[in-house]
Amino acid sequence: MRLLNAKTLQLELFPDPFRDRDLFPYVILSHTWETDEVTFDDMRDLGTAKLKLGFSKIQSACKTTIEYGFTHIWIDTCCIDKSLSAELSEAINSMFRWYSCVSICFAFLADFLKGVYPKWLDPLESVPLAKPMSWAASRQTTKVEDEAYSLLGIFDVNMSMIHGEGPRAFFRLQEAILRRTTDLSIFAWTRDSPGDVQRSLLSLQPTSWHVVTSPSPIASSASRTRYASQTEVS
């Protein structure tokens, strides 16, 4: 795991925090990506990084990190060497754990207008599977397969990264979810339009859950296991 030193703006390597949460405290910046973000390669040359629009966000995050008494911060845009497929895959599969071990998570939402901040949040385990799918229904990603990869942590599943696989990644995500759950509310999706032809119990994309409101968990028995072991998506 790479962390950015908030004082020196240098990237440093650390062991996986999930093994020992008290080994080193760190914070995370959760943010919406914008144009001209600072990448891992940019941080090798601060002169280049400072020319990017996204550098001011990193500076502000580092300043806030120090103000809260911490020295290291993780930012997904610049702390992952995305040119290494193995590192990218590990980071995507570990990201939810990294968030769970964090001391503080700072949120910067450039596109946020207004909303309600809940004082108490329910654990994800109590939320029906269809609900998180509905949260992703209106989300747009640069790459089609990222629709699936961005949901791995929420559903607590791991998948190999296959760049360029497109919509099949979302099929694989649903298969992985079904192997570890008895909540069949995951099937509570609708076709995007009446003319759509769908011959699978699995959806083609997250937009199929855009009409989901507040479903209840749908428990199953052995039928869920039979489905997970016999279904194949071609």
Is the confidence at residue 43, as pLDDT, over 90?
A: yes
* Cα 27 versus chain centre, distance: 17
What residues are paired with 30 via a beta bridge? 107
Return the top range by mean pLDDT from 104-108, 127-131, 190-194, 195-199.
Answer: 104-108
Between CA 43 and CA 55 the distance in angstroms is 10
Between CA 80 and CA 74 the distance in angstroms is 9
Is the confidence at residue 230, as pLDDT, over 50?
A: no
What does the pLDDT read at residue 209? 80
* pTM: predicted TM-score of the whole model, two decimal places: 0.61
User: Which tokens sit at 157?
Assistant: 């599943």
What does the pLDDT read at residue 79? 96
Summarize pLDDT for 118-155 with one digit per residue, the tens. 555 566 777 888 888 888 888 888 888 888 988 988 88
What does the pLDDT read at residue 224? 39
Sheet of strand 2-5, all strands in order from the earlier edge strand to the far edge: 11-13, 2-5, 72-75, 27-31, 104-108
